[in-house]
């Protein structure tokens, strides 16, 4: 098994591509070892000293470090991912549901606008963000402001504010004049 590794815009996060589906059509973030109990793979990654976050995309695993250097952490992470996929074990433990993004908020009269926002996010933003080892989800719309949640390598990334303000905000404002601002939820 050959696992590719890619840098992300977040220097504390690396993206690992095992060449197999990880969570097809879904995503799941683990911010600590307790949350990781829902996944044998995430639990094994959190057992590595220095790992502080794990994110599963459709075909990748992003790992965030709190300490240590990548040249020392990378072999252990690669070993844990390889061992998991070779074992044939499920990515999520039996009975563990895929992560829910939480309650959305918006006024009923904005339902059509929210549908368009979600479509633009799904088709134009999420693929680019996934390419960087992360994910972005819609949380709400109020008073001209779109609220989004950033996950994986995007969470805590030094360039996440630029992504929100210059990339996503400009895109949404171009197509939807009712959108005035984009904020992290």
Three-state secondary-structure class, residue 81: helix
Q: First and final CA of the chain: distance in angstroms? A: 38
Mean pLDDT along residues 110-128: 91
Q: Which residues of 79-97 are buried (b: 16+ CB within 10 A; e: fewer)?
A: ebbeebbeeeeebbeeeee
Contact 65, 11 (CB under 8 A): no
**CATH match of 4-87 with 2.60.40.1660:** no
Cβ–Cβ < 8 Å for 168, 182: yes
Q: Give the model's confidence band at 32: pLDDT under 50 very low, under 70 low, under 90 confident, else very high.
A: very high
> Which top CATH class is 108-184?
alpha beta
Q: What is the pLDDT of residue 158?
A: 67
Domain extent listing, the chain? 4-87, 108-184
**What percent of the chain is modeled with pLDDT above 90?**
63
Span 33-70, pLDDT tens digits: 999 999 999 999 999 999 999 999 999 999 999 999 99
What percent of the chain shows pLDDT beyond 70?
94
User: pLDDT digits over 64-100, tens only?
Assistant: 999 999 999 999 999 999 999 999 999 998 766 655 5
Beta bridge partners of 134: 152
């Amino acid at each position: 098994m050959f696992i590719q590794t890619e840098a992300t815009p977040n220097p504390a996060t690396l993206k690992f591509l095992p060449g197999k589906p990880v969570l097809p059509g879904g995503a799941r973030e683990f911010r600590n070892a307790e949350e990781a109990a829902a996944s044998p793979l995430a639990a094994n990654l959190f057992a590595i000293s220095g790992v502080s976050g794990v994110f599963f995309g459709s075909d990748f695993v992003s790992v965030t470090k709190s300490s240590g250097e990548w040249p020392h952490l990378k072999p252990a992470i690669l070993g844990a991912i390889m061992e998991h996929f070779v074992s044939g074990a499920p990515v999520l433990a039996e009975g563990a549901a895929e992560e829910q993004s939480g309650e959305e908020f918006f006024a009923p009269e904005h339902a059509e606008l929210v549908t368009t926002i979600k479509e633009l996010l799904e088709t134009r933003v999420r693929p680019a963000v996934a390419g960087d080892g992360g994910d972005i989800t819609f949380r709400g719309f109020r008073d001209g402001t779109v609220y989004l949640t950033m996950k994986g390598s995007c969470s805590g990334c030094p360039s996440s504010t630029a992504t929100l303000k210059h990339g996503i905000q400009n895109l949404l404002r171009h197509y939807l004049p009712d959108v005035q601002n984009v904020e992290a939820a």
